[in-house]
Amino acid sequence: MKWRKLNRVLHRDLGYFFTGLIIIYAVSGIALNHIGDWNPNYVITKTESPFTPTESLINNEKKAVTDFLDSFENQNKKNYKSHYKPTQNTIKIFLKDNESLLLNFETKIVTFESIKKRHFFNQINYLHYNPGKWWKWFSDIFAVALIIITVTGLLILKGKNGITRRGAILVVAGILVPALFLVLR
């Protein structure tokens, strides 16, 4: 088999095989780049409403906390998991289904917080974070395959659009962008 044909076969077959993983890493990479703008793993919902604190609630009595749940909208003591008093003026109540309440006695505001996994992004980000030993090795194989796909891609075209002319200019430009970023940071 001639080297040009082998080059095309490697480029084509590795590209086909790793298409799904390339898309997963690209999409999760975009999501993780914007982690300061939104949480790609979870949808966090917070709502505030007024409440009237009682003396037994302020004193952190468990029965008062569970009774409060019965009076709070869409909750009851069956949802109670635990609670603690992070400060003198607040109680944090943990509920089932990744929900919680923060009671602030000073402002008389209760904050309801619900945390739900963001479908699709949670799963692909899980893969991006390398969840286990076998995935680490598969990701390493994928990284090597990306290098092979890149090198074989550079060598596919001949002539004026190949690596010796137009391709060389684009490769140098593509290397200069991250290099300039590193120099100017």
pLDDT at 27: 94
In terms of residue numbers, what domain contains 176?
Answer: 3-39+121-184
Q: Are residues 133 and 155 in the same domain?
A: yes
pLDDT tier at 42, thresholds 50, 70, 90: very high
Q: Are residues 109 and 47 in the same domain?
A: yes
CA dist 50 → 54, 83, 110, 112, 131 (Å): 13, 19, 6, 11, 42
Domain endpoint, select from 117, 141, 166 = 117
**pLDDT tens figures, 110-149:** 999 999 999 999 999 888 888 889 999 999 999 999 999 9
Rounded distance between C-alpha atoms, residue 53 and residue 30, angstroms: 45
Q: Are residues 75 and 54 in the same domain?
A: yes
pLDDT at 40: 92
**pLDDT tens figures, 55-64:** 888 887 888 8
Domain endpoint, select from 62, 89, 117 = 117
pLDDT higher than threshold 80 for residue 74 = no
Q: Are residues 46 and 111 in the same domain?
A: yes
pLDDT at 9: 95
pLDDT at 46: 95
- Long-range contacts of range 156-159, CB-CB < 8 Å, 24 or more positions apart? 156/7, 156/8, 156/11
Q: How many domains does the chain contain in total?
A: 2
Map tokens 């994928």 to a residue. 142
pLDDT higher than threshold 90 for residue 17 = yes
pTM of model > 0.85: no
Q: Are residues 156 and 179 in the same domain?
A: yes
Q: Are residues 112 and 50 in the same domain?
A: yes
Q: Count of CB atoms within 10 A of residue 116's CB?
A: 13
pLDDT higher than threshold 80 for residue 151 = yes
**pLDDT tens figures, 75-101:** 777 889 999 999 999 999 999 999 999
Q: Are residues 26 and 46 in the same domain?
A: no
Q: Are residues 126 and 137 in the same domain?
A: yes
Q: Are residues 68 and 126 in the same domain?
A: no
Q: Are residues 105 and 144 in the same domain?
A: no
Could you give the 3-state DSSP secondary structure of residue 64? Answer: helix
